[in-house]
Amino acid sequence: MNVLDQIAASKCREVEERKFRRPVHELEKMSFFKRPATSLREALQKKAGAGIVAEFKRRSPSKGLINAMAGVKEVVTTYEKGGAFGISVLTDAPYFGGSLEDLMVARECCACPLLRKDFIIDEYQIIEARAHGADVVLLIASLLSFSQIKQFSSVARSLGMEVLLELHEEKELEKIPDGISMVGVNNRNLKTFHVSVEQSVLLAGKIPSGMIKIAESGISSPAVISELFSHGYKGFLIGECFMRESNPGEAFEKFINELHQKGL
């Protein structure tokens, strides 16, 4: 059993426990549930240059502890002030040290589109994401079947949310259902953790036209963004590059300034 399989198995147990503790009817009563969602797709579509989706995470399965001291409010506020087009918040606890409370804190202090990044294996998690302030949910193609992706996407749309469908391999292009408008290419193989930015280059021309392309993982310099931007990527999801610094917000602002110097 690879790491992704282990994560999926533990996530199934975790979700069943959460369903028992907080049923859907309780989630629907939460204050953020009926809040109008903010579109990440529209924000990136209007952007002439590269749009950064800045991520908050404390740890990862591949890197271990990244930043135990950073506070959600401080980091997210600086991300938004610095020009992030969206903010990704890890809500997985066992592997990333995140929580739904982190998502709520982020929602309370920023207005830009929020992505709930987790291992979504049940539509309950999408309802949960909406109730805690998310505008977008991540669906991982290597973790889900075509029918699951189609169903979960439908649930998200019914709640006014958007979906970022994450791919890694060419064969996963077959899992893109109608209604998906944003596709992310994860340069990290979630089964081996090997990272290669070339993965985004390889898949760029094969993603259906009209979709917003977002590159994920292994993006650590404006030079990489410049190359991927030339291949049609509009969005760039970056986390570790900022979070490994003692002041993630400051690292983000420096990165954005370097991007602007390149005309992106």
CATH code of the domain covering residue 171 = 3.20.20.70
Catalytic residue among 14, 39, 217, 240: 217
Catalytic residue among 57, 175, 213, 234: 57
Catalytic residue among 162, 166, 172, 240: 166
**Residue 55 appears among annotated catalytic residues:** yes
**Residue 57 appears among annotated catalytic residues:** yes
Q: Can you tell me whether residue 114 is helix, strand or coil?
A: strand
Q: Which domain holds residue 156?
A: 3-261
Per-residue confidence (pLDDT) for residue 262, from 0 to 100: 86
Query: Based on the structure, what is the number of domains in the chain?
Result: 1
**Residue 117 appears among annotated catalytic residues:** yes
**Residue 142 appears among annotated catalytic residues:** no
Chain centre distance of CA 90: 8
Dist CA 114 CA 55 (whole Å): 10
**Residue 166 appears among annotated catalytic residues:** yes
Beta bridge partners of 186: 216
Per-residue confidence (pLDDT) for residue 48, from 0 to 100: 84
Give the predicted TM-score (pTM) of the model. 0.96
**Residue 247 appears among annotated catalytic residues:** no
Catalytic residue among 11, 14, 55, 67: 55
Q: Which of 162, 143, 202, 146 is nearest to 53 (CA)?
A: 162
Catalytic residue among 186, 187, 200, 213: 186
Q: Per residue in 160-193, pLDDT tens?
A: 999 999 999 999 999 999 999 999 999 998 888 8
Walk along the chain (264 residues) in steps of 10 and give the mean pLDDT of each run. 85 96 97 96 92 96 89 97 97 95 98 98 98 99 97 98 98 96 95 91 96 96 96 96 95 95 87
Dist CA 232 CA 204 (whole Å): 7
